[in-house]
Structure 1
């Protein structure tokens, strides 16, 4: 199944690109009343180690990232005007398909509910790029994706260095390599405005939580699968049985 684009969101706030690494979760489904108010709080004891709010939110964030970056990669293959933009687009598809495979494997093992749609803000990025063409598409593509990956890079390192859950650790290692690769290919387009990008990725956005959280899947809704491309060179890591 390919991702369908049917959500709405906001890309520009106050004339600037925005993103957040705010926590994402579905407290009503998980029997908790807060959304990462205490990232270190243990919400489940599993055979792979304790699962914290921060661990759970990280798995959801990785899934949500793929739900908008994968279709943007498909878009870039069609609309990109330079070889570098098309290469970066292929990396998005390949990397997020592999991450998605890992997320969908470990989520049920840990009792985590995954979204089937990106957050409204993330869908706003998709909508913006869908409206772009030519050089503007290339430039917005490179800067949006470099900014979003830069924003999450440090969060991945924190999860990897602090989680006690082996499955989350596997995902964090995979995400670290993937995000570094995606940052690098965006930079190789030669289109990244580093001053603006770094400012945006270090400035907290002023958006309501509803814009930053992907909606939970409807009851009985088929799981969206990000299909690896035929030319995939990325192999998802082995998942420990216990």
Structure 2
């Protein structure tokens, strides 16, 4: 992996902010003011059980992860130089399409606003990988994605063991299986530098909230959809009365710096 620093001394990996990954330190929810730092604070009573700040944050994190990892999967299928990297890309597309469908299914049921773009930091990862070529792409993709999935794995376990909301619990079950699969295929590329990856997972820097927060969707903007591949093997949650798709939804973002 390539390391560099900007004028302010911020550490980068392959040109992207590296150490605080995915949306694990997600500071503010879209359309909702955080008035408490206590993730266990109940913000709504629903027919599926109480919804806490942590529950809501988790649904947004899963959505945001797919908005940049799905395009990276598309890149890996096109740019990967080994069969293992291409396979990893296909797993990203398949798994995040199903997770995204689940998020879009349960979010309106729980009155949660979802982003249509990943955070600036996450888009930075897409920028880096979009610019990479050849073996550098293979290496950066495997290591960045291994850090992000390894980091959120612990978050999933905590949500699964503490949530009282049945919809969030089912999403955590699905996310657990998907993230474990993605960790595995990244490791199977043979490119993961475990010393660096584990250091990055356990030593995150402090970054501004604006770097970690996906922008809220403008009013009336069609909801971005991550369509499943033709040979999809992963399935979204099955919940009666909550369709996965509907009118006015936009197609999935292309693997570009502005939609990652």
| TM-score, normalised via structure 2 length | 0.84
- Alignment-derived partner of residue 23 in structure 1: 26
Residue-by-residue CA offset, 1:64-88 (whole Å, 9 max, x unaligned): 0000000000011110000000000
The whole-number CA distance in structure 2 between the counterparts of 1:144 and 1:201 is 10
Structure 2 residue 82 is matched with structure 1 residue 82: yes
- Alignment-derived partner of residue 14 in structure 1: 11
Shift of 1:15: 4.1
The whole-number CA distance in structure 1 between the counterparts of 2:151 and 2:34 is 27
- Alignment-derived partner of residue 206 in structure 2: 206
The whole-number CA distance in structure 2 between the counterparts of 1:76 and 1:208 is 29
Change (3 A) 1:221 1:59: same
Residue-by-residue CA offset, 1:146-194 (whole Å, 9 max, x unaligned): 0000010000000000000000000000000000000000000000000
Question: What SS does the aligned partner of 2:89 have?
Answer: helix
Shift of 1:237: 2.6
Structure 2: 5+ residue stretches without partners: 1-8, 242-260
- Alignment-derived partner of residue 194 in structure 1: 194
Matched length = 228
Residues 24 and 60, structure 1, Cα contact 8 Å, conserved in 2: no
Question: What SS does the aligned partner of 2:122 have?
Answer: helix
Aligned residues: CA RMSD: 1.7
Shift of 1:139: 0.3
- Alignment-derived partner of residue 245 in structure 2: none
- Alignment-derived partner of residue 7 in structure 1: none
The whole-number CA distance in structure 2 between the counterparts of 1:68 and 1:231 is 21
| TM-score, normalised via structure 1 length | 0.90
Question: What SS does the aligned partner of 1:110 have?
Answer: coil
Residues 153 and 176, structure 2, Cα contact 8 Å, conserved in 1: yes
Shift of 1:24: 4.8
Shift of 1:203: 1.1
- Alignment-derived partner of residue 6 in structure 1: none
Q: Which has the higher helix share?
A: 1
Detail structure 1 runs of 4+ shifted over 6 Å in the superposition: none
